[in-house]
Amino acid sequence: DQQVKQNSPSLSVQEGRISILNCDYTNSMFDYFLWYKKYPAEGPTFLISISSIKDKNEDGRFTVFLNKSAKHLSLHIVPSQPGDSAVYFCAAAISSGSARQLTFGSGTQLTVLP
């Protein structure tokens, strides 16, 4: 049961270029999406989120795009920096109703090469 899927386990990008991390979901009840970043030996830290009423949310170098019809979201990092190297988790939630926990994808290891 993989309601949230990140099909690319790893991604390498040159410093200064754009990093695009992708995420697909199957549960149409999800109406809120988040990206978490995780460094080794640390817990996931919140990065950026988007509600299903929007199709784009931007915060500095980070932009999340949501395509509801395709049940797809992506995280764009531009320009990429070596400090962005981490595992990025996509997560989804249902903001109303009884199910309020986060459903995570399996993560994508981003490596930004200097």
Q: Where do contacts with other proteins occur on this chain (CB under 8 A)?
A: 2, 4, 31-32, 34, 36, 41-46, 49-51, 53, 89, 91, 93-95, 98-107
Helix (H, G, I), strand (E, B) or coil at 42: coil
Least CB distance from residue 106 to other proteins, whole Å? 4
Token pair of 10 as six digits: 């790893």
Closer Cβ to other proteins, 27 or 106, answer by number:
106
The answer, yes or no, to whether the previous bond of 79 is cis (omega within 30 of 0) is: yes
Q: CB under 8 Å to 72, separation ≥6 — which residues?
A: 22, 23, 24, 25, 66
Closer Cβ to other proteins, 44 or 112, answer by number:
44
Closer Cβ to other proteins, 23 or 77, answer by number:
23
The C-alpha atoms of residue 91 and residue 81 are separated, in whole angstroms, by 23
Least CB distance from residue 56 to other proteins, whole Å? 14
Least CB distance from residue 114 to other proteins, whole Å? 26
